[in-house]
């Protein structure tokens, strides 16, 4: 087998050194009844060519986004990722390293982490960031739990614009801990509704901007209301690129910012792996979940980086840890860092502008189609549209025409009462032809 270096001679030599006659003797502790006699009923080993073919066949049963006119966002975004990003993250030294437990021989990973934490902090207008969470949805759940720890309160309020999957994820996690989740009804543009749900038991209010309907919201007045009640303001997001153009959550009063970083550096990958971003204020770092890299000095007084503040973490604190997270999103975080380094402020700003312009172009093109109403007024690169037929049917009909027109809100949240609403997204990858194709196809479908 091409991945197994021991030869039969090695094996018998080694058994000899160990002092046993057969490998079976090494499994002596396994109850005999549990030792499989034969092989598990699965196919035997195959060569690269055969395996490649198998996977290729499966892959070809899918329709890649890039082969369609593609307008789907809602938590995952199709952006162009420079070729150099994937080249770099595939370097053996990054790809096949573990979590940097031995910092002296992991300075590459650690310095990149430190750069990531700084980039994320700058981007979100926050003081500190951790070293990544699994994804945006779990970061959001962690934010809710952290707020409960910080405030010692047990209720978290979600705005009606939070991505339904995020809400569901947070609900699953929080309810196990006895944290009550109160969710405002789904609404295109009413984040401020959370203020009406606020009380003195509230640990945090979680608001998403741009929200799942694309609407961007000024968080400042909400944050003021939240802070007045002694609760934490948590800002959530799914599209990192937005912060190239809109005000940072930190500047608008957020105490914790959480969201999805996939947009930068990471392909769609059918939903994972992605990279959760998590930033907060310095005063809360001891309650922050997840790993964090910090600067220090070596024995010669030279700068170096290490994982630090590990007394928050499961491997040191065990049942008192701030989270059970261990492995996070290392390589996705590295991809983020590299792509963000390539962009820089100049590139990110321009990228964001382009996305916004494409979305305006899309909104205007769709608005002209009979049976379509654009619902989102203030947006970055996503808009909600109302169509004159059931949204899911429209999406399916569009797909048959080579247009992935977005997602029906009913798919994300069947109880939202928005069965005719579609979320669409435009990015720099959409051409004028794509937009024209969408409008034309939609016209036919709605006719």
Contact set for a copy of itself, span 14-53 (CB under 8 A): 47-49, 52
Q: How far is 253 from 275, CA to CA, in rounded Å? A: 24
The residue from 11, 21, 54, 80 that contacts a copy of itself (CB under 8 A) is 80
247 binds, among ligand PLP, another protein, a copy of itself, none (CB under 5 to 8 A by kind): another protein
Bridge partner residues of 379 (DSSP): 215
Upstream peptide bond of 284 is cis (omega within 30 degrees of 0): no
Contact 207, 217 (CB under 8 A): yes
**Selection from 173, 90, 100, 104 nearest residue 137 by Cα:** 173
Q: How far is 143 from 136, CA to CA, in rounded Å? A: 10
The residue from 69, 132, 150, 186 that contacts another protein (CB under 8 A) is 132
Task: Please identify, using beta-carbon distances, which residue of 14 and 326 lies nearer to ligand PLP.
Answer: 326
Where do we find the tokens 């944050």? 223
Task: Please identify, using beta-carbon distances, which residue of 142 and 428 lies nearer to a copy of itself.
Answer: 428
Contact set for another protein, span 236-295 (CB under 8 A): 243-248, 251, 260, 267-275, 285, 291-295
Contact set for a copy of itself, span 334-393 (CB under 8 A): 342
Task: Please identify, using beta-carbon distances, which residue of 82 and 273 lies nearer to a copy of itself.
Answer: 82
**Selection from 132, 127, 126 nearest residue 112 by Cα:** 132
Structure tokens given for 405: 């027109």
Structure tokens given for 424: 């669409």
Using a 10 angstrom Cβ sphere, with 0-12 exposed, 13-18 middle and 19 or more buried, the burial of residue 35 is exposed
Cα–Cα distances (Å) from 341 to 82, 85, 115, 338, in that order, read 11, 10, 9, 5
Contact set for another protein, span 381-420 (CB under 8 A): 395-396, 399, 404, 407, 411-412, 414
Contact set for another protein, span 182-211 (CB under 8 A): none
Contact set for a copy of itself, span 412-431 (CB under 8 A): 428-429
Q: How far is 84 from 87, CA to CA, in rounded Å? A: 5
Tell me how long the chain is: 447
The residue from 20, 326, 367, 436 that contacts ligand PLP (CB under 6 A) is 326
The residue from 330, 365, 375, 385 that contacts another protein (CB under 8 A) is 330
**Per CB under 8 A, 338 contacts another protein:** yes
Task: Please identify, using beta-carbon distances, which residue of 15 and 342 lies nearer to a copy of itself.
Answer: 342
Rounded to a whole number of angstroms, the minimum distance from the CB of residue 88 to a copy of itself is 9
**Selection from 352, 432, 340 nearest residue 121 by Cα:** 340
**Per CB under 6 A, 327 contacts ligand PLP:** yes
**Per CB under 8 A, 54 contacts a copy of itself:** no
Binding site residues, a copy of itself, CB under 8 A: 2, 47-49, 52, 80, 82-83, 87, 90-92, 342, 428-429
Binding site residues, ligand PLP, CB under 6 A: 326-327
């Amino acid at each position: 087998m091409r991945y197994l270096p021991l030869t039969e001679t090695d094996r018998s030599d080694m058994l000899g050194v160990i002092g046993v006659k057969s490998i079976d003797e090494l499994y002596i502790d396994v109850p005999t009844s549990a030792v499989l006699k034969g092989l598990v009923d699965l196919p035997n080993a195959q060569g690269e060519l055969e395996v490649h073919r198998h996977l290729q066949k499966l892959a070809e049963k899918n329709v890649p986004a890039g082969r369609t006119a593609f307008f789907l966002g809602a938590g995952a975004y199709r952006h162009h990722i420079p070729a150099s990003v994937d080249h770099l993250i595939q370097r053996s030294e990054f790809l096949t390293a573990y979590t940097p437990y031995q910092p002296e021989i992991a300075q590459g990973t650690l310095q990149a982490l430190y750069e990531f934490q700084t980039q994320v902090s700058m981007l979100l207008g926050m003081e500190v960031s951790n070293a990544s969470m699994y994804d945006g949805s779990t970061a959001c759940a962690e934010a809710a739990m952290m707020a409960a720890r910080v405030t010692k309160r047990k209720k978290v309020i979600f705005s009606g614009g939070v991505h339904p999957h995020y809400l569901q994820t947070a609900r699953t996690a929080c309810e196990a801990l006895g944290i009550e989740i109160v969710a405002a009804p789904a609404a295109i543009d009413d984040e401020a509704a959370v203020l009406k749900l606020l009380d003195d038991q509230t640990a945090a209010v979680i608001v998403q901007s741009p929200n799942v309907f694309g609407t961007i919201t000024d968080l400042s007045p909400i944050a003021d209301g939240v802070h007045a009640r002694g609760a934490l303001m948590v800002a959530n997001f799914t599209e990192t690129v937005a912060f190239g153009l809109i005000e940072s959550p930190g500047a608008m009063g957020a105490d914790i910012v959480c969201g999805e970083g996939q947009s930068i550096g990471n392909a769609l990958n059918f939903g994972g792996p992605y990279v959760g971003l998590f930033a907060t204020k310095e005063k809360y770092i001891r309650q922050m979940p997840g790993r964090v890299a910090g600067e220090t000095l070596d024995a010669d007084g030279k700068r170096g980086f290490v994982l630090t503040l590990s007394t928050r973490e499961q491997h040191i604190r065990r049942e008192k840890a701030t989270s059970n997270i261990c492995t996070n999103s290392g390589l996705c975080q590295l991809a983020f860092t590299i792509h963000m380094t390539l962009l820089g402020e100049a590139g990110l700003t321009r990228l964001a502008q382009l996305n916004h312009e494409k979305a305006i172009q899309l909104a205007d093109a769709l608005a002209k189609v009979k049976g379509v109403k654009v619902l989102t007024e203030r947006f970055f690169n996503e808009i909600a549209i109302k169509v004159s037929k059931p949204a899911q049917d429209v999406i399916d009909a569009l797909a048959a025409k080579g247009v992935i027109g977005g997602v029906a809100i009913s798919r994300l949240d069947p109880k939202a009462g928005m069965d005719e609403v579609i979320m669409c997204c435009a990015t720099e990858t959409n051409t004028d032809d794509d937009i024209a194709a969408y409008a034309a196809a939609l016209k036919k479908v709605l006719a």
